[in-house]
Structure 1
């Protein structure tokens, strides 16, 4: 029997969970011996029932006995705010568990092994590539002990972020700018340098087409040593500003991870962007290209440690999308994901916030 259809339903259910925060978005489908769906569930955030427990809770006593649980992430095997899903599934009497991706957490992983010990059939790796892509940001945090980092910039076709006099409003059009706001909303934190704050006075909010604040707002983070005026627009942000008084991006990333941020959007200036690229801390590039030429020296990236062509930073393009007259290019480091060395936090469970 193929479990692809049930897993795709589980992925759809997982989309209902919160996109930001420390916990992964997980979906679960429970099917009977005939392959008919008898319950569905998903995780709604910290402190709430995990997807498996949510699905089981909708069934009467004994109704899951002999059934199959199809879940996007390996059932957890630890006590956090809630109990182990592996034990809940065993107690419910399911005969089979199908999952896509193994839980990389040192404490929360191991659910598949526990289920097998209890005599439950376990099948892993179903639609693993699709779920890996869906959970990419959370898995980065879980495996590397740091947030998933998206670096965004907007530039002319000749790679300039601004004209020679420093003006850059606006290189891209309304559709591209609105997509940026959507990407901000999907992030836990938005990071800029003090140079961007002093030059552009950005609000760093996520706003809708009419300028209204979107439901979820990223926490603004300002990196650098220079002071910021007390009347700067960032102080009117709905969330308190975090100031990182350093130029060491590794320190910044470690602090943001410690604060519980898992999805970080770096939007500030060529200096900061170049520092993140040189440090190998970028997991995804969101590059907005406008059909214009500026010339001059205001490049979108500065020195990234490439002295010869053999040291070039190769990227793999994930998608190219037209937004009005502009292009959005999404790319990831190639051939292997560039990252910092895993921190000591890597071995700590990334699901312990549950």
Structure 2
């Protein structure tokens, strides 16, 4: 179930065919999911990868930018993006203690694809904490799982909820995970597409808002994992990582501005105010397809002709990003299923319960 299937519209923009980040031409997403219960060990984790273009990213890089709303999280590869303005690797999502192995596996994959080049890479890996439902200290994500996620990368519909890196995640004290959405601008606004993929693992129940309605204030009857007798953590602990993609020809500083707008969508759902949340966002733009390959030691031409979106046309991209982030988070929650791990049970937000809560706070079905 997705939020639009309930008759709830986020913003006024029009989604793409799949209402997913894969509506941006060339973008592909792959998952590998781990769900294993063996005796006292619960493994509920995985890897999600985003490829900006099919094939070796270092041969066809794209401009990118980064924004950190709250830094209680970790990531690799971001400093080089800030410095150079280029994304030259896939983006991967996983859990907090698996960042290293995922990063190393992406290095190995790039090495295999780049043997004919003099090349080094700094892959982008983002994380959120799944230790409430997953044996995170066991570090069960392996290089093989990263390879399987890369092999799974494809365009088209994107699986949401308990999948890939989002398998063990919690959002607003409900089951969270992977969510996606997109917007297509009208011809008069440039006709570009903006797509979003989130790994949602943040938020307190009371702050949850859907379409502007404070539904979290009337959902206290649904048990919270953080208010059980086990004392598994505190409400609001966790993080959210967000990738925004577009086919608009943005320059690096414009990508950074686009990434900042993820904060708007997050705030609308009720996030962005917790000290214990790592809120890290990246945006990339595939609109310039002629950028020189990252082939260090073998430079190409001294200059490259570029296109850029004029600032008079950039605001609709900001609106699209904020709306798509808001919807992607809600899709992550509605796409999730109840999950028990490490002796803890986290319930998903059921569509019928959400509709009842919306009606309690004044929403009327269209």
| TM-score of the two chains, using structure 2 as the length reference | 0.25
| Bigger fraction of residues in strand | 2
| TM-score of the two chains, using structure 1 as the length reference | 0.26
Higher relative contact order (CA 8 A, sep 6+): 2
Higher-Rg structure is 1
